[in-house]
Amino acid sequence: MGRYYTGDVEGKWWFGVQRSDTPRRFGGEETFVDYAIYNGDDFKNEIKSIKDSLGDKLKTFDAFFEKENGYNEEMLMDFFKGKHSDYTKDNLTADLEEYADYKFGLDVAEYFKESGEDSCYINSEM
Per-residue pLDDT at 32: 62
Tens of pLDDT, residue by residue over 23-71, are 889 998 776 658 899 999 999 999 999 999 999 999 999 999 999 988 8
Q: Do residues 125 and 5 touch, judged by C-beta distance below 8 A?
A: yes
Q: Is pLDDT of 126 > 70?
A: no
**Above 60 in pLDDT, residue 1?**
no
Q: Model confidence at 15, in pLDDT bands (50, 70, 90)?
A: confident
pLDDT tier, 76 (very low <50, low <70, confident <90, very high otherwise) = very high
Tell me how crowded residue 50 is: count the other CB atoms within 10 A of its CB: 21
End-to-end CA gap in the chain: 13
Q: What is the pLDDT of residue 125?
A: 64
CA atoms of 98 and 23, how far apart (whole Å):
13
Question: pTM value?
Answer: 0.76
Q: In this structure, which amino acid lies at residue 8? A: D
For position 117, what pLDDT does the model report?
Answer: 95
Angle at alpha carbon of residue 37, lines to 25 and 122, rounded to 5°: 95
Tell me phi and psi for residue 9, to 5 degrees: -125, 150
